Amino acid sequence: MRKAQPQFPGHEQPHVPTELGYYDLRHAQVRAAQADLARAHGIHGFCYYHYWFGGRRVLEGPFEEVLRSGAPDFPFCLCWANENWTRRWDGLEREVLLAQQYSPADDAAHFRALLPAFRDPRYIRVNGRPLFLVYRISRLPDPSATLARWRSLAREAGLPGLYVCNVESFPEEHSLAPRVGLDAAVEFGPDWGALPRPIARGRRGALLWWLRRMRPRPEGYLRHHVARYEDLARNMMRKPAPDYVRFPGLTPMWDNTARRRTDAVILQGSSPAAYEAWLRFCAERAAALPPEERFVFINAWNEWAEGNHLEPCERWGRRYLEATRRVIGGAC
């Protein structure tokens, strides 16, 4: 985060945390402060990323402490981030550090590893079934078979089943939920299929020509995908409602230049007011779902390296959290 630099005039980087500071999630007091802040602003629970590579886990320490200690007393669910582990944090996605491995035996081992979390009283459930997300369900060799194994194992373990969703982030994930037997889908913000044209490209050919000829020129517009936040929000809100259950999702902001020297996605013009309008739309869509399924997924609480967070920062303070509370308070 600290190494991020502005890429052009008016580009807000680095993002600097305020109230919680530069923290270490291994510390219980940090996790407690996060839960207190979220609860005070109407957030129901956290969805933690879970990393599993053929039996090997990474970054599991903080969540294991949440399970072991019983604190914070705040609802949670898990999302399996089933992509290869690469050096994405510095843009080297082709350098694979841990590859995913899929098999029927691994499905069973994975479920057994998840069972202590599913049994935790804080775990978020839908009609008694633990809510579990798979980030890239399309990557599984046979998603329907994996779901059948997990649901059978859940019943054997005394659970009423599992409520499994995929995450509609990439185009190949869209509309998979009914085809493979998922209970629902989760809209991811930003939906990469709805990403607007770059400000300095596409139909703005004359501007691109001008930028290339200028000396000095704002190279940041050429090295990165710079688009308007409100255009993304508008594109996602215009998506037709599907004929299956899909939980609406959004992002407060997005700017992953801290991770990428080139080809970052920068959403310009994000603000608490624009986020609040988008969140209100999502809450209204969720209100049409059955009471047990009225979820809205906000991406994210603390993805600081992707410039994507509700936690207070130097520029906005608590204003995104306050906008969240205004909408959630109205929805309740």
φ, ψ for residue 47, nearest 5 deg: -105, 110
The pLDDT of residue 207 = 53
Q: Which residue has the tokens 């290869």?
A: 84
For 80-102, the DSSP string reads: E--S-EEEGGGTEEEEEEE----
Among 86, 82, 89, smallest CA distance to 52 is for 82
The first and second tokens of residue 323, run together, are: 């906008």
- Say whether the peptide bond before residue 252 is cis (omega within 30 degrees of 0): no
Confidence class of residue 330 from pLDDT cuts 50, 70 and 90?
low
Range scoring the smallest mean pLDDT among 213-227, 266-280, 288-302: 213-227
Kindly report, residue by residue over 110-139, the tens digit of the pLDDT: 999 999 999 999 999 999 999 999 999 999
Spans of all domains in the chain: 28-331
Hey, what are 238's tokens? 């215009």
pLDDT tens sequence across 12-46: 999 999 999 999 999 999 999 999 999 999 999 99
Q: What percent of the chain has pLDDT over 70?
A: 92
Query: Residue 131 carries which DSSP code?
Result: E
Q: What is the pLDDT, as a whole number, of residue 215?
A: 47
Which among 109, 184, 116 has a CA at the least distance from the CA of 150? 109
Look over the chain and give the mean of its residue pLDDT values, rounded to a whole number: 93
Q: Say how far apart CA 216 and CA 232 lie, in whole Å.
A: 30
The CATH number corresponding to 28-331 among 1.10.3720.10, 1.10.4010.10, 3.20.20.80, 2.60.40.10 equals: 3.20.20.80
C-alpha 72/C-alpha 28 separation (Å) is 8
CA distance 155 to 225: 46
Please tell me which residue, 89 or 261, carries the higher pLDDT value: 261
Strands 52-53 and 92-98: unpaired
- 3-class DSSP assignment, residue 248: coil
> How far apart are alpha carbons 17 and 20 in whole angstroms?
7
For 146, other C-beta atoms within 10 Å of its C-beta total 23
pLDDT at site 318: 98
Asked whether the predicted pLDDT for residue 203 surpasses 70, the reply is no
Q: What torsion do the CA atoms of 87, 90, 94, 99 make, to the nearest 10 degrees?
A: 20
**SS3 call for 205:** helix
> Which value, in Å, is the radius of gyration of the alpha carbons in the chain?
20
Which residues, other chains included, contact 137 with Cβ-Cβ below 8 Å and sequence gap of 6+? 143, 166, 167, 173, 176, 180, 182
Task: Name the nearest CA neighbour of 127 among 296, 297, 292, 295.
Answer: 292
For the cut 50, the answer to whether the pLDDT of residue 332 exceeds it is no
**Chain-centre distance of CA 155, in angstroms?**
29
The average pLDDT across 72-94 equals 84
At which residue do the structure tokens 């080809």 appear? 263
Mean pLDDT across 287-306: 97
Residue pair 116/67 in contact (Cβ under 8 Å)? The answer is yes
- 3, burial (CB in 10 Å: exposed 0-12, middle 13-18, buried 19+): exposed
Q: Is the dihedral of CA 22, 28, 31, 33 positive or negative?
A: negative
